[in-house]
Structure 1
Amino acid sequence: MRGRGRPGGIVTAKVLLENGFDVTVFDKYQQVGGIWSSEGCYDGLANQSALRLFEFADLPNRLHFAGAVDTQRYLEDYARTFGVLDCVRPRTEVISIRPVEGSGRVGSSGWSVDSRPAGDEAADLHRETFDYVVVASGAHHHAQLPELPGRESFRGTVLHSNEVRAGTFAGRRVVVVGGGKSAVDLVTRAAPEAASATIVQRKVNWMILSGFCSAWSATSGSCSPGSARRSCPAITIPPASPRSTASTSGSSVLCGGSSPATCCFPPGCTGCRGICGPLTRSRSIWPMRE
């Protein structure tokens, strides 16, 4: 049985081991965890899951909006606890998977797997045969960069999010294109160190950053207004014409309201006592200012 060292691959290998299979796990990186490993993540990658939302039932944790290091450590602890680490071949890249020829349905005679040391294109391929194959490489393994008109004449640096490393943004004018998880991570990462940071997105999604209310208790569902206001770098959102871009020169959080307001509290908290209206998906991002 062949698998992959990402979260889905780890737990699949664990279940197969428990059911008596001889398991081999190929992992392109030195660490298990896929995008959470140090080789697979961009600088600033953070887990957007609150307490109890990022864990397997058979190994609870205390992760709460954790960083990539702690998230990867949990996945590695899980793999170690259930014997998966002993089955892993780190820094091994799978080049091809083909069904072994034979009668019956495709794959009934087994699967031929070619692999080599990761990053060494000159290395000889190592071929092995397995009875079953589990592909758990994830949906976000290969970078996708759109072909935008005029890109060839742009004199700056164009990077995919996964190519960002520590110091990439220092002192530079940064534009992040997109409005998803990685875009918000990166514009927040760029804000304290870049000369300027701007995010451009086609459709607005409201993102609540992990620092929105550090006093918020995920277990009790309450917060302390005093401590929240001291710890949260609030943003004032003016009732101006909405734009499709937003920029920030500092590390900030965004709060939605139908009138000018400053709020440090998450949805459901009564600390702001109605100062801020409910967050909506229909509102565009406004120019941010501290």
Structure 2
Amino acid sequence: MSTAAAAGTWKLGDLEVNRVGYGAMRLTGNGMMGNSDDTPIDRDTAVRLLHSAFEHGVNHIDTAAFYFSPLRSANELINRALASWRGDVVVVTKVGPGRNPSGEWFTMARPDQLRGQVEENLRQLGRDHLDVVNLRRNGSGMTSIAEHFGALAELREAGLVRHLGLSNVRPEHVAEARAIAPVVCVQNSYGLDWRRADESGMVDLCRDQGIAFVPYFAISGLRREAAAAQERDARVHAVARAHGATPAQVRLAWTLHRGPHMLAIPGTTNPAHLAENIAAGTLRLTEEELTILGKPGAASPGHR
């Protein structure tokens, strides 16, 4: 039985986690993205799925209070699963953007509103403190994060938050934040089809400073350049066949090969896909295969 420990571990501050984790957004159904026609997973089924992840060694979850649909809240489902689980699980949440109860988004919370967002996560998760809180920068118009990150640093000093991270940021924002308080992780889009974090130097910056890099959209890709996508997909399928693996597993393994500081947070509501995602941590790609796919660290073919 494959376990999340097969890919190794990393420390988020003083919290050691297996590198393969779980992203909770899909637990809510696509209603989280405004499509109320998509039926979310049944509560009991969701709890069983999360327990299965924990049993396979997943010990960190990515979530947010704004991960909710008309019928489901990711935090509520995580709370329910953890209440009947005896092991330790690190919960990483994020604040900054928000949604009102009807599901409508607002652009970005003010610094003085972040405490309310932290307290909402605490309430939903049933916890006295949050393990890790990422400040998610929302939009390119937010040039400085100092005031927002400073507000979170105050909550860390007050004991409401244990560690702080960043999401959707550039290298200059990491430097800005680290001048205020320690940063344990950066969560940005990154994958075989979308390597802006290589071009900006963000992945290497995190490695050099001992910060976890946590890519989202590592399997599906945030964007795909049509000219290069078909050829790259063929290469992914060829490598997958050689390993008796799925293309999704190859994409996850590719990101994990980028460095020991890379953490994976694939999300799914399908138990078979969950097992496949965890097993991707056992996949060892050769240097030749990494070159065929586009070696981690290099810009994606056709991308500028």
Short-chain TM bin = under 0.3
Bigger helix fraction: 2
Q: Which has the larger radius of gyration?
A: 1
TM-score, structure 2 normalization: 0.24
TM-score, structure 1 normalization: 0.25
